[in-house]
């Protein structure tokens, strides 16, 4: 009996080790160092990793999938969002920021229970996956619920607790302790669920205006000590820019720099309000910028000077922001807007070209999140996070001239046919394999109705 | 025998007359004068027209369709495009305008045969229909081929021959004669095919720089005489603005006004370069502006001052422009960009709200095209041009707070389930009823390859 059991385990392990998935798409956009675009190559996947890329079909391959008319791209990375805010999507659009925030968003958020956040996140992750996102970075509270949704859905994520001692009127130490507790809970969950390669932690001091200087310094010191990355909102609105200048005599970027906060561990979302002299600060400190063009336009924050950042060699990643301010979790729509807005605004049709935009959604984002050893490109040894685009899913996939241009200007999320994360199909031929999306939708509906009722919003 | 035949005809006519289609969606967005949003109302359709809107189910109804979780909106109107340019989609993006035009677009266009234009247009119309467009306005050449594709596809269109004596080095009279010949051919086709209520004609003097003053005056005089509307590109780029000013001492708008060209028959595409004093000219003349935000951004033309036009009471319609400069024929994407870009640019989150954007894609566009008696809203007596949106087609349809906001910020074309034009389903449950889209795609592929070969583009 025991002997049979051992044999069984050996067989299972052998199958796991040797079970090779082989994909044979028409085009592979690798986003590797040489920006190789490969026609009619094979990709081999074993144990969640890419183990083969080549012209010849390798021996083995238990799951062999021919993919004519398909482009495979690296999984997209949404580098800044608040994924559970699907619950609040479209709650009050076309409104002043403060009216929206204080009279609609906050009264609903105050009433969120852990379960609400779990289902809001699961729904949002479903939305991300179906638009080709395989990794996202989040900042919210009840964040352990989001971690559970990450575990259950098969996605990869960097999670941060939104720390804001100013907003919550807590001491910096208390606020830091809460973040620390989340980190411990996350570590326990990772171990228990064997999700060490899908769950990552970052500090999440909300913003220069949501945190005291003491709290910012606490996170900075701990980051220097442990190497933990820091996820922050920075220079998003003009009012932030003015308020910080009034309070400190410095711009938000100068202020953070003056307290030694900025480093290559800092992942700064938005960065719309940048003075000319600040590009060199961002470059020299190695700060990563997370660009949210749709949210910045819709909330009338402004237009981040991305062309100048790129010229200055600053690493820029792309992001959706939360679905309450977007209103989608859709990196295809984000790529499109990122590609057109800076052309129109600078009046240079060659700025922020399609290939750069796809980099901002893949390899540059991986670099921003400190995960470029594992994800962000299709290379042997990297995690198998892959998106299969079927050019026949709509008229827009024809004719094909340049694949980068096709992806950024012509396609949309409806061309995402299948999504693999860590070697596992989490979305296959347009169907979720791990999320019951209809049940989740039902729950989201009910939660939203309860919150509206409780908050007295009609 | 003859008697039976007569009876048969009578029966057929009776069935045609009395065949009532009844639709029962969850929500109807009427876009009528009172901007009514109707919950659980019935729409009745007979003989291509809307004959009933009410809370009670009327008697009769041979085709009764319950549509829970569906929103019905008026058919969208794409007020300015070059629909056959699907053939050239993505040919050379991220390039300077003149490089793109002279080294890529024109060498391909020179080689277009009538059949090429037919299939390019049919493919583009398929793309329009699947994104909820029921009427479009076009300017191109071989335009009669586009008219044939309109007849075959069931769509509605206003067609204009692109007249440009400067570009083609012809006399104004010759150029006008060509436009006139197209008008006659179009009239013959309409009669032969019984498509009088789906095909409309407009003059198409290309632009102030593509036409001599003589040709512009010819069109203006004929328009005054016959009431025929005029479709023109106007004030699209800075170089046009500068060139016209150099040539005439006036801005493009002032120049056209000075020769008496501007009137409420004029439908002007782009209108990006507008001096402050020109808003009153546009308003007083009653010029209709056709706004193409994606094309203007992508080609780095600039950002049209739509908020100021709206404040000035100028009628603004929305449009995609041709798929070579967009690169889609997708009014959902256009609505989204129109809604966010002006907020970001003016830094007013309340400007160009979702409802106004949907008006620009429906009733305001119908007014621009002079067809608001027939289309642009859901009202008894109007043509039955309807789009059924299924909120369950993706995660983005939940939760529903405001239906205008939902349509403009959250949905995309994948929510278009069915499209009715003139009372006929041209797209039903995601399937084309009149276009063989796969065969058309094949032809588009082959035409594109032949053109590339002939033009020597690799």
Cβ-defined contact of B400 to A348 (cutoff 8 Å)? no
Looking at residue B2, its pLDDT comes to: 53
Residue B98 — very low, low, confident or very high, per pLDDT cuts 50/70/90? confident
Give the closest-approach CA distance of A90 to chain B in angstroms. 6
| Residue A269: count of CB within 10 angstroms of its CB | 26
Residues B294, B317 share a domain: yes
Residues A201, A52 share a domain: no
Whether A373 maps to a domain, the answer reads no
Q: Using CA atoms of A287, A292, A298, A299 in order, give the dihedral in degrees to the nearest 10.
A: -30
For strand A416-421 and strand A386-390, is the pairing parallel, antiparallel, or unpaired?
antiparallel
Residues A118, A162 share a domain: yes
What confidence tens digit (pLDDT) does each residue in B56-78 have? 999 887 899 999 999 999 999 99
Looking at residue A49, its pLDDT comes to: 98
Cβ neighbourhood burial of B167 (10 Å; 0-12, 13-18, 19+): middle
Determine the Cα–Cα distance for residues B165 and A170; give it in Å rounded to an integer: 73
Counting as low any pLDDT under 70, the low residues of chain A are 1-18
Residue numbers of A between 234 and 263 with CB closer than 8 Å to B: 238
Closest CA to B182 of B159, B205, B215: B159
Q: Name the 3-class secondary structure at B304.
A: coil
Determine the Cα–Cα distance for residues A389 and A372; give it in Å rounded to an integer: 22
Determine the Cα–Cα distance for residues B257 and B359; give it in Å rounded to an integer: 27
Looking at residues B429-434, what average pLDDT do you find? 98
Q: Give A322's contacts (C-beta < 8 A, 6+ positions apart).
A: A81, A82, A83, A85, A295
Residues B101, B139 share a domain: yes
Please report the DSSP string for B413-436 in residue order: GGGEEEEEETTEEEEETTEESS--
Residues A102, A245 share a domain: yes
Q: Does B333 reach chain A within 8 Å, measured CB to CB?
A: yes
Cβ neighbourhood burial of B35 (10 Å; 0-12, 13-18, 19+): middle
The alpha-helical segments, DSSP class H, found in B104-237 are 106-109, 114-130, 143-153, 165-168, 172-193, 213-226
Determine the Cα–Cα distance for residues A123 and A86; give it in Å rounded to an integer: 7
Cα–Cα separations (whole angstroms), residue A200 to A135, A189, A270, B238: 10, 11, 21, 49
Chain A residues touching B303 at Cβ < 8 A = 344-345
Question: For B103, how many CA atoms within 13 A lie in the half-sphere containing its CB?
Answer: 10
Contact B279, B308 (CB under 8 A): yes
Cα–Cα separations (whole angstroms), residue A195 to A147, A157, A399, A439: 10, 10, 41, 24
- Encode B353-363: b = buried (16+ Cβ within 10 Å), e = exposed: bbbbbbbbbbb
Contact A398, A411 (CB under 8 A): no
Q: What are phi and psi of B406, to 5 degrees?
A: -55, -50
Read off the CATH number of the domain in which A420 is found.
2.30.40.10
Contact A291, A316 (CB under 8 A): yes
Looking at residue A10, its pLDDT comes to: 47
Looking at residue A14, its pLDDT comes to: 45
Question: For B192, how many CA atoms within 13 A lie in the half-sphere containing its CB?
Answer: 10
Residue B341 — very low, low, confident or very high, per pLDDT cuts 50/70/90? very high
Chain A residues touching B92 at Cβ < 8 A = 401-402
Chain B residues touching A127 at Cβ < 8 A = 394-396
Determine the Cα–Cα distance for residues B297 and A346; give it in Å rounded to an integer: 9
Residues B146, B275 share a domain: yes
Looking at residue B423, its pLDDT comes to: 97
Domain edge (last residue) among B342, B368, B394: B368
Chain A residues touching B124 at Cβ < 8 A = 395
User: What is this structure's pTM?
Assistant: 0.96
Read off the CATH number of the domain in which A237 is found.
3.20.20.140
Determine the Cα–Cα distance for residues B167 and A387; give it in Å rounded to an integer: 45
Determine the Cα–Cα distance for residues A188 and B85; give it in Å rounded to an integer: 57
Cβ-defined contact of A349 to B126 (cutoff 8 Å)? no
Give me the number of domains chain B comprises: 2
What confidence tens digit (pLDDT) does each residue in A316-349 have? 999 999 999 999 999 999 999 999 999 999 999 9
In total, the C-beta contacts within 8 angstroms joining chain A to chain B are: 205
Determine the Cα–Cα distance for residues B302 and B346; give it in Å rounded to an integer: 13
Contact B423, B412 (CB under 8 A): no
How high is the mean pLDDT of chain B?
95
State the DSSP H helix or E strand holding residue B19, giving kind and residue range, or none if neither.
none
End-to-end alpha carbon distance in chain A? 64
Determine the Cα–Cα distance for residues A222 and A378; give it in Å rounded to an integer: 33
Residue numbers of A between 152 and 211 with CB closer than 8 Å to B: none
Structure tokens at A52: 């083969």
A326, A343, A412: residue with CB nearest B298: A343
Residues B98, B226 share a domain: yes
Q: Is the dihedral of CA A441, A442, A443, A446 positive or negative?
A: positive
Whether A403 maps to a domain, the answer reads yes
Residues B352, B399 share a domain: no
For strand A49-54 and strand A42-46, is the pairing parallel, antiparallel, or unpaired?
antiparallel
Whether B373 maps to a domain, the answer reads no
Longest dimension (CA), chain A: 76
Determine the Cα–Cα distance for residues A50 and A337; give it in Å rounded to an integer: 31
Determine the Cα–Cα distance for residues B178 and A299; give it in Å rounded to an integer: 49
Whether A315 maps to a domain, the answer reads yes
Q: What are phi and psi of B343, to 5 degrees?
A: -65, -50
Residue of A nearest to B98 (CA): A349
Residues A278, A329 share a domain: yes
Whether A7 maps to a domain, the answer reads no
Residue ranges making up the domain that contains B423: 2-71+384-430
Residues B191, B178 share a domain: yes
Please report the DSSP string for B88-114 in residue order: GTTSS-SS-HHHHIIIIIHHHHTT--H
Whether B375 maps to a domain, the answer reads no
A300, A348, A394: residue with CB nearest B344: A300
What confidence tens digit (pLDDT) does each residue in B1-40 have? 455 555 555 444 444 445 899 999 999 999 999 999 999 9
Strand order of the β-sheet with A76-81 is: A76-81, A133-140, A156-161, A199-201
Residue B377 confidence (pLDDT) above 60? yes
Longest dimension (CA), chain B: 76
Domain edge (last residue) among A368, A393, A409: A368
Q: Does A327 reach chain B within 8 Å, measured CB to CB?
A: yes
Cβ-defined contact of A300 to B412 (cutoff 8 Å)? no
Looking at residue B19, its pLDDT comes to: 83
Whether A180 maps to a domain, the answer reads yes
- Encode A430-453: b = buried (16+ Cβ within 10 Å), e = exposed: eebebbebeebbebbeebbeebbe
Residue numbers of B between 287 and 316 with CB closer than 8 Å to A: 294, 296-303
Give the closest-approach CA distance of A348 to chain B in angstroms. 6
B123, B302, B348: residue with CB nearest A344: B302
Residues B45, B175 share a domain: no
- Top residue of A396, A397, A432, A452 to mutate, by most chain B CBs within 10 Å, is A396
Q: What letter does residue A414 receive in the DSSP assignment?
A: G
What confidence tens digit (pLDDT) does each residue in B121-161 have? 999 999 999 999 999 999 999 999 999 999 999 999 999 99
Whether B453 maps to a domain, the answer reads no
Structure tokens at A275: 């003075």
Q: Name the 3-class secondary structure at B35.
A: coil
Residues B304, B245 share a domain: yes
Cβ-defined contact of A354 to B93 (cutoff 8 Å)? yes
End-to-end alpha carbon distance in chain B? 64
**Cα angle: A409, vertex A327, A142; to 5 degrees:** 125
Cβ neighbourhood burial of A396 (10 Å; 0-12, 13-18, 19+): buried
Looking at residue A8, its pLDDT comes to: 53
Looking at residue B457, its pLDDT comes to: 87
């Amino acid at each position: 009996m025991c002997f049979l059991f051992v044999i069984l385990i050996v067989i299972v392990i052998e199958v796991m080790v040797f079970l090779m998935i082989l994909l044979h798409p028409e085009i592979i956009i690798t986003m590797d160092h040489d920006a190789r675009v490969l026609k009619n190559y094979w990709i081999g996947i074993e144990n969640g990793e890419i183990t083969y890329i080549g012209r010849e079909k390798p021996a083995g391959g238990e799951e062999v999938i021919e993919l004519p008319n398909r482009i495979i791209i690296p999984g997209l990375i949404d580098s800044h969002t608040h994924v559970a805010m699907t619950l609040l999507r479209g709650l009050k659009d076309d409104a002043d920021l403060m009216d929206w925030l204080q009279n609609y968003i906050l009264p609903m958020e105050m009433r969120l229970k852990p379960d609400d956040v779990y289902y809001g996140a699961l729904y949002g992750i479903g939305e991300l996956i179906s638009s080709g996102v395989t990794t996202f970075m989040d900042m919210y509270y009840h964040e352990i619920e989001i971690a559970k949704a990450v575990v259950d859905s098969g996605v990869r994520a960097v999670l941060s607790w939104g720390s804001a001692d100013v907003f919550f009127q807590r001491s910096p130490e208390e606020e830091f302790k809460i973040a620390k507790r989340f980190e411990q809970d996350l570590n326990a969950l990772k171990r228990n669920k064997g999700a060490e390669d899908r769950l990552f932690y970052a500090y999440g001091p909300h913003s220069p205006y949501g945190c005291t200087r003491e709290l910012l310094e606490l996170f900075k010191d701990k980051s220097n000590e442990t190497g933990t990355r820091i996820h922050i909102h920075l220079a998003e609105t003009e009012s932030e820019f003015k308020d910080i200048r009034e309070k400190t005599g410095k711009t938000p970027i100068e202020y953070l720099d003056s307290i030694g906060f900025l480093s290559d561990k800092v992942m700064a979302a938005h960065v719309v309000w940048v003075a000319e002299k600040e590009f060199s600060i961002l470059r020299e400190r190695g700060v990563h910028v997370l660009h949210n063009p749709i949210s910045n336009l819709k909330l009338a924050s402004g237009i981040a000077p991305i062309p100048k950042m790129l010229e200055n060699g600053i690493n820029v990643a792309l992001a959706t922001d939360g679905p309450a301010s977007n209103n989608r979790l859709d990196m295809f729509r984000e790529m499109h807007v990122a590609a057109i807005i800076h052309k129109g605004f600078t009046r240079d049709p060659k700025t922020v070209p399609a290939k750069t935009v796809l980099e901002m959604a893949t390899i540059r984002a991986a670099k921003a999140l400190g995960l470029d050893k594992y994800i962000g490109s299709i290379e042997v040894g990297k995690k198998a996070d892959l998106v299969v685009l079927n050019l026949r899913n709509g008229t827009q996939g024809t004719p094909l001239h340049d694949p980068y241009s096709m992806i950024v200007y012509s396609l949309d999320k409806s061309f995402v046919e299948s999504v693999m994360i860590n070697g596992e199909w989490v979305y296959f031929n347009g169907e979720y394999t791990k999320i019951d999306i209809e049940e989740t939708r039902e729950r989201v509906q009910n939660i939203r109705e309860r919150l509206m009722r409780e908050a007295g919003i009609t």
